[in-house]
């Protein structure tokens, strides 16, 4: 099963998306967007930038947990991963994004009741 983006609307009427790997695991989460069009632009940016390993920044949280962010060509963060148990798991998450992001379909759940 291929990866997919799930586009959702939050309780405060903002839009966000998650990139899921083929196994259903969330591998990247977006920021909150005021408009649906902006969230869709964010998805396109992840598709475009997600295939390039150089766009990923490997980071460590205050508690020592490794994670990563994906940046656009202008340096803006367009998505962040979950916290991982170790650097190898984080690196696998980056590889999963590289593999899944460019061809992922969009599952628009904003129209759901």
Q: What pLDDT digit, counting tens, does each position of 95-108 carry?
A: 999 999 999 999 99
Q: What is the DSSP letter of 35?
A: S
State how far the Cα of 55 lies from the Cα of 36, in Å rounded to an integer.
24
97 Cβ neighbours under 8 A, 6+ residues apart: 19, 27, 28, 50, 56, 70, 81
Q: Which fold has domain 4-108?
A: PH-domain like (2.30.29)
State how far the Cα of 85 lies from the Cα of 66, in Å rounded to an integer.
7
* pTM for this predicted structure: 0.92
| CB contact at 8 A, 10 and 111 | no
Q: What pLDDT digit, counting tens, does each position of 56-74 carry?
A: 999 999 999 999 999 999 9
């Amino acid at each position: 099963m291929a990866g997919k983006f799930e586009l959702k609307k939050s309780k405060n009427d903002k839009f966000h998306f998650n990139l899921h790997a083929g196994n259903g695991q969330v591998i990247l989460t977006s920021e909150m967007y005021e408009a649906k069009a902006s969230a869709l632009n964010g998805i396109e940016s992840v598709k475009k930038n997600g295939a390039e390993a150089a766009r990923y920044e490997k980071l460590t949280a205050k508690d020592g947990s490794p994670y990563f962010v994906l940046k656009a060509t202008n340096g803006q963060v367009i998505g962040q991963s979950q916290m991982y148990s170790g650097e190898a798991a984080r690196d696998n998450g980056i590889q999963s994004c590289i593999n899944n992001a460019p061809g992922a379909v969009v599952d628009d759940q904003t129209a759901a009741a």
